[in-house]
Structure 1
Amino acid sequence: MNDPIVLLWSWLAVGQPEAPLVPTWLTLTVALATAAMLVEAVLLLAWHRRTGGGLPPRSLLPTLVAGGGLMGALLALLAGAPLGFLLALLALAGIGHVVDLRHRWQPRSRQG
């Protein structure tokens, strides 16, 4: 039973406390990508605050929350965090996604 998919499925389905075996480089890569996303968010928000250019926080933050929640959930899964923590991060990502969609949704103009 060395197949990573089988290990992952058994961990999620049975609720085993041990995390599936994942390469350290993969966990480190996801952690670095998540950190880079956080740095990008800080820089974009600082740029907007200083110059007024770029996306306003109201438009940028929901997208960052959705992406950050997914990246955090992946990192939590790879690191063997408790399932409740993983689900909380996925819920946060879903809420960010819904808020992002609401901000972008444009009502149809009435033809007639």
Structure 2
Amino acid sequence: MEYRTISLTTVTNHIRKLNTFSNWLVENGYLQKNPLAKVKVKKDRSDKEAVRPFTQEELSILFQTDIYTKKKYYRAYHYWLPLLGYYTGARNEELCQLYTDDLVLAEGSST
């Protein structure tokens, strides 16, 4: 039988969700202990799931879109997330958790 494989990240996310559910089962008396409490996915160092950085050409294309040249965007994060990623190197998941209060204008920067 042939099966479609899933990424290591997807496996980790499924285990995390099942672990949360198992904790709920324990807290509500349906299980005595969480069978997934110590289950972790060991990442193989040869695994090449890492995302490659953008090339200069790809960055030029991105920042020459109407979002940046004509300030045409539907939501503010369409404009700000790529800029924050460019200047900080942070992952999208990290940037999407930010609040506006988390951002500070550095001394000497222009607004």
- Which gives a bigger RCO, structure 1 or 2 (Cα 8 Å, sep 6+)? 1
Larger radius of gyration: 2
Which structure dedicates a bigger proportion of its chain to helix? 1
TM-score by length of 2: 0.32
TM-score by length of 1: 0.32
